[in-house]
Amino acid sequence: MSDVGGIAADRLKSFVERIERLEEEKRGLQEDIKEVYAEAKGTGLYSPHSTVVCM
């Protein structure tokens, strides 16, 4: 097993894979949030300022 900067290569690969998976989940959550904002806007209850203040 080779080391990269004192970290085993397989351990480094594990970190990278976890980060990639989390980034993918984050993109999905951002899309979900956009959909909720659009739904709120469609009901007429959406105001960017008031929504941010409430959060």
Q: 14 in a domain, yes or no?
A: no
- pLDDT, tens only, 18-49: 999 999 999 999 999 999 888 888 888 777 67
Q: CA-CA-CA-CA torsion for 15, 19, 22, 27, nearest 10 degrees?
A: -170
pTM of the predicted model as reported, rounded to 2 decimal places: 0.65
Q: 9 in a domain, yes or no?
A: no
Query: How many separate domains does the chain show?
Result: 1
Q: What is the pLDDT of residue 35?
A: 92
d(CA 13, CA 6): 13
Q: What is the pLDDT of residue 31?
A: 97
Q: Is the pLDDT of residue 1 over 70?
A: no
Q: What is the pLDDT of residue 4?
A: 61
Q: 19 in a domain, yes or no?
A: no
Q: 5 in a domain, yes or no?
A: no
| Domain membership of residue 42 as a residue range | 25-55
d(CA 14, CA 35): 32
Do 31 and 39 contact (CB within 8 A), yes or no? Answer: no
Q: 50 in a domain, yes or no?
A: yes
Q: What is the mean pLDDT of residues 14-19?
A: 96
> Quick one: 46 exposed, middle or buried, by C-beta within 10 A (0-12, 13-18, 19+)?
middle
